[in-house]
Structure 1
Amino acid sequence: MDPRARVIGLVLALGGLMVTIDTTVALVAVPAIVADLDSTLPAVQWVTTAYLLGVVAVIPLAGWAANRYGARRVYVTALAVFTLASVLAGLAWDAASLTAFRVLQGLGGGLLNPVGSAIGLRAVPREARGRLMSLLGLPVVIGPVLGPPLAGWLVDDASWRWVFLVNAPIGVAAVLLCARLLPAQPPTDRAPVDWPGLGLLSGGAVLVVLGCSRIGETGSLTWTAGTALGAGVLLVAASAVRALRVPAPLVDLRLLRHRPLAAGLVVLVCFGAAYFGSLAVLPVFVQGVRGDPALLAGTLTIPMALAVGLTLQVATRLVDRVPPRRIVLTGVTLGLLGSLALLATTTADAGYPLVVAAAVVLGIGSGATLMPTMTVAVRDLEGADTPRGTTLLSLLQQGASAIGVAVVATTLTVLVSARVPALAAAGEGGLAGMLALDPAARAALAPELAAAVGGSYAVAAVLMALAALAAVVGLPRTAPAPRPHRPDPLKL
């Protein structure tokens, strides 16, 4: 890449880093928020859910907004909204106001990934887009490692409010840098927004994520969660039918005729659901089966986070030189092996080094799969199709993450209740009872509990096998052939 393209990638990574850190630190701050606002845990858990709902509600607008108003203008505006909402969240006076400001944060943060990816992809030729995307993946390296310790320090030595207020100086710097250094991309499409399509798709996506989030929290399919999930699926299906009939849909499903994009979406949905769903299992194993503190559970995930980030940097760059199917298939295979290894090592008497080693294998597989697949899926899109493609990827990836967490949580609940029926009476399908066990009772039930919790990794293994099949069938078999780069007129 030329120096200007590298600067563009690093500036975009700064915005992504702010969002990634904010997501990780918000989870750490929940107990302090409950105490300071004199609220309840269920009420404050909406702090996380509200952000996710804001994200999925606004993602369908990303491609249309970038083409209608210019990608740089949309990106800088989204950064400003996210920064302002962060300050408001830090000044929240109760759980309700904090939830509202987190929704606003999601509305800003939800545009950053698809619009930022579109800006970066337009800045370089096709054969250099893997290297550019590796820069956009830097937040994945830094965020999960820096976020939790930063949050712990802020919560312990200052206040949970600084978890959000710290975004203010970073956000202002990011806004100024992006406004100055990102390439101008004037509007290319004056088509009005498809309001009926927006209502169907955003409403459906919000209901699907809401239903899945409720299932993930309780570990069971309640009437409320089932109703939201069913209504959401119907609305999303109706939006898909409409998208194929109107001339200017918000999410252009006609792009699925592009085989790498279609295959990449299947890989991302299956692998993403498996990976993000499995992330919820290890903390339950550490605290519920082994009875160790949450701090240890968080510490054990750091090697996996580092493996994800470092592998992502190497694998995404290799997409420019090596046949993509070879890279992604290697990543999915390692992810499958890591899931099977976790299934085998999460036993009552297994040592943590073995569990961490298995998690690292899973992390390497994730780093070699997610960002490389996204790069291959949208690498050949040009012009106005680029933001439309990145919008479609972001929307399905968020949905897959929520669905994966819900499926794994439900499987976990079912297995715990089946293995230890007495715990089901403790509420929440046995999970609450498992976490509340005294040391002696936990030690007596450890083999059954370990088999139940570890068994949920089987779901991830099945989904990763499906992702491997999609990679074999649909991803390109050859590396990209270099060709002269003609500057994108949209960025001049």
Structure 2
Amino acid sequence: MVAALVFIALVVAVIGSLGAPLITAVAQDYGLSLTAAQWTLTIALLSGAVATPLLGRLGSARRRRKVVLATLATVTAGSVATVVPAPFAVLLAGRAAQGAGLGLTALMMATARRHLGDRAPGTIAMLSVASTAGIGVGYPAAGLLAQVGGVRAAYLLGVVITAAALVTAIAALPRDSADAPAGETVDWFGALLLSLGLVAVLVVTSQSGLWTGRPLLAGLVLAAGLALLACWVVVELRVPRPLVDPAALRHPAVAAANLVMGVSGIAMYLLFTLITRYVQTPPQSGYGYGLTEVEAGLVLVPFSVLGFVAGRVVPRLRQRVGPFALLAAGGVVVVAACVLFAVTRTSGVAWPIVAMGVLGFGVGGFSAAMPQAILAVTPAEETAAAMSVNQVVRSVGFSLGSALGGLVLAAYTVPGHFVPTGPGYTTAAWTAAALGVAGIALVAATAPARRRHVPTAAPEGAPSSPSAPRRR
């Protein structure tokens, strides 16, 4: 079961990021601009952000297997849609269906917590790592397939692995528990408000060109998205069965973890996109190494490998070191990666690769510690809902990081030139380092509030402890 849960989480992470290395190939194959082709990645992230909290609430222990299988079937159907000869709109619809699978990681965590006993914490840590470090797993293969057989050959990888994930889930996931708490009615109005708010925020943050070309419109869309999210919070406080329990989100440890995730997520993905873009820049620009898509994909291998190494190491430290101390340690490693890229990237292609590996170790350690911080104070029956919110916060942070990187580099791009000047990367790297330091500072600043709330959590299906958040 452990292998099956990690494999499914890894597959949905690969599928969600599959559009990134194929943007240029899609633009060429469909005769589109790069901005239009970018939607093959953006629409999957949007779909995942909308589906994640909904799946977290739908996937109660009594119907979790059904929800997982139905979602994987949808992802598989979407994968098929990406390879059939059809207009670009069909490809986008397929990518949207694939993105729905990003919400499954929280359900894998809930399954592990219910069925794996003492092995649950380590498995949950690996699931969190897989959902992040797994981003780089599919890049080399997708780039190679696109180079050899075109876009549809690359997307065929998605068909194969999603079908394998569906078969794995059918064979390995436990049956739904008849003795588990009954599934709750979904707050559909709250789901609509949350979806609209997230779509507005993610669209405007993922399109960095909108901020440089039409900043007023970008600001208005962002304000509208934030207003919808504020309305969603008000609604959730009033309905008897909210989509996400506000009492759980207000707990100091949960609120601190999500805040740290948001800020640190911006720093992580900002540096990730910087290194990926830098190594592909032609040397004629005065910097960069002109790597092909396949070679750039191989640069990401250390990110994933060291991320999984950290995911194995961190759970073994949980008895001696608290989760927030581990979060701070992960933040320190991320800051070190930012500084390393800022000061050594011109010394040879090996140094950006080293920085990517250091970043992977920091992100892996951070991702492994995050579930410990949240689930320690979360009733087991709220596992899927609580972790789904954290996944959404992570997605928003990653989107903001990508947009911020684009804005900084755009500010250093001379009119009429395609690539920014070298100092733009230095400024962006130090910006990522500053955000990483801010994340560490948030961990330290929230320590007193966390100490006043001693966390305990009950097994799934059992009453939560008095100190755990309760549904109103």
**TM-score normalised to the size of structure 1?**
0.82
Instruction: Give 1:203 shift.
Output: 0.3
- The counterpart of 1:170, out of the listed 150, 161, 173, is 161
**What is the number of residues matched between the two proteins?**
451
What does 1:178-193 correspond to in 2, within 5 Å?
178-183=169-174, 184-186=176-178, 188-193=181-186
Partner of 1:463: 435
Instruction: Tell me by how many angstroms 1:22 deviates.
Output: 2.4
Query: Quick check: 1:214 aligned with 2:215?
Result: no
Q: Hey, what does 1:442 align to over in structure 2?
A: none
Q: Distance in 2 between matches of 1:487 and 1:232?
A: 34
Q: Do structure 1's residue 111 and structure 2's residue 108 form an aligned pair? A: no
Q: Find out whether 1:151 has 2:142 as its counterpart.
A: yes
Partner Cα separation in structure 1 for residue 125 and residue 61 of structure 2: 28
* 1:374 equivalenced with 2:365 (yes/no): no
Q: Deviations over 1:22-74 (max 9, x none)?
A: 24443223333333334443322211111111111222212221138622211
Q: Give 1:358 shift.
A: 3.5
Shift of 1:138: 6.4
Give the aligned partner of residue 410 of structure 2: 413
Would the alpha carbon gap of residues 102 and 140 (structure 1) be closer, same or farther in structure 2, given more than 3 Å must change?
closer
- After superposition, the C-alpha distances for 1:61-110 in whole angstroms (9 at most, x for unaligned) are 12221138622211111111101110111115111111122112222x13
Does the alignment pair 1:434 with 2:433? no
2-structure distance, mates of 1:391, 1:25? 21
Query: Displacement, 1:318?
Result: 2.6
Q: Name which of structure 1's ranges 221-230 and 112-121 shifts more when overlaid on structure 2.
A: 221-230
Task: Compute the displacement of 1:275 (Å).
Answer: 0.3
Residue matched to 1:420: none
TM superposition score normalised by structure 2: 0.86
Distance 1:172 1:312 in 2: 26
| Aligned equivalents of 1:192, 1:487: Cα separation in 2 | 19
Pair 1:27–1:358, CA change in 2 (3 A) = closer
Distance 1:210 1:68, change over 3 A: farther
5+ long unaligned stretches in structure 2: 464-472
Asked if structure 1 preserves the Cα contact closer than 8 Å seen for 2:72 and 2:162, the reply is: yes
Structure 1 residues 283 and 266, CA, compared in 2 at 3 Å: closer, same or farther? same
1:472 aligned residue (444, 450, 459): 444
Matched, 1:93 2:93: no
CA separation of 1:459 and 1:68: change in aligned 2, threshold 3 A: same
What is residue 35 of structure 2 aligned with on the other side?
Answer: 42
**How far 1:487 sits from its partner (Å)?**
7.2
Partner of 1:124: 116
Q: How does 1:362-401 map to 2 (within 5 A)?
A: 362-401=359-398
Matches within 5 A, 1:65-464: 65-67=58-60, 70-107=63-100, 109-125=101-117, 128-137=119-128, 139=130, 143-144=134-135, 146-183=137-174, 184-186=176-178, 188-215=181-208, 222-286=215-279, 287=281, 289-295=286-292, 296-346=295-345, 349-414=346-411, 416-417=412-413, 423=414, 425-426=415-416, 432-434=417-419, 449-464=421-436
Q: Secondary structure at the match of 1:433?
A: coil
Q: What is the percent sequence identity of the aligned residues?
A: 24
- Distance (Å, rounded) in 1 between the aligned partners of 2:317 and 2:216: 47
Which runs of at least 4 in structure 1 moved beyond 6 Å after TM superposition? 480-483
How much has 1:216 moved relative to structure 2?
6.3
| Conserved? CA contact 1:215–1:221, under 8 Å | no
Maintained 8 Å contact 1:307/1:360: yes
Distance 1:257 1:142, change over 3 A: closer
Deviations 1:187-230 (A, max 9, x none): 73454322221121110001100001112687666344333222
Q: 2 CA distance for matches of 1:173 and 1:226?
A: 43
What is the DSSP-based 3-state SS (H/G/I as helix, E as strand, rest coil) of the residue aligned with 2:378? coil
C-alpha distance in structure 2 between counterparts of 1:299 and 1:171, whole Å = 22
> 1:374 offset after TM fit, Å?
2.4
Relative distance call for 1:92 and 1:254 in structure 2 (3 A) is farther
Unaligned ranges ≥5, structure 1: 1-7, 418-422, 427-431, 436-448
1:13 alignment counterpart: 6
Q: Is the 8 A contact 2:63 2:183 kept in 1?
A: no
Q: Given the superposition, is the C-alpha separation of residues 30 and 92 from structure 1 closer, same or farther in structure 2, using an over 3 Å criterion?
A: farther
Report the more deviating stretch, 89-98 or 350-359. 350-359
Cα pair 2:377 2:455 within 8 Å, conserved: no
Q: Which amino acid aligns with 1:341?
A: L
1: CA distance, partners of 2:340 / 2:126: 30
Whether the 8 Å CA contact 2:194–2:228 is kept in 1: the answer is: yes
In the aligned structure 2, how far is the partner of 1:133 from the partner of 1:173?
A: 21
- Cα RMSD for the two superposed structures: 3.0
Deviation at 1:11, TM superposition (A): 0.8
For 1:16 and 1:365, how far apart are their aligned partners in 2?
19
SS in 2 for 1:117: helix
**Structure 1's 90 and 231: CA in aligned 2 closer, same or farther, altered over 3 A?**
same
Q: Contact 1:274–1:463 (CA<8 Å) still a contact in 2?
A: yes
Change (3 A) 1:220 1:267: farther
**Alpha carbons of 1:289 and 1:22: their partners in 2 closer, same or farther (altered >3 Å)?**
farther
State the shift of 1:255 in Å: 0.4
Query: Residues 17-28 of structure 1 correspond to what in structure 2 (within 5 A)?
Result: 17-28=10-21
Which deviations, in whole Å up to 9, do the C-alpha atoms of 1:94-128 show, x marking residues without a partner? Answer: 11111122112222x13212222221222234x64
Cα contact 1:37–1:95 (8 A) shared by 2: yes
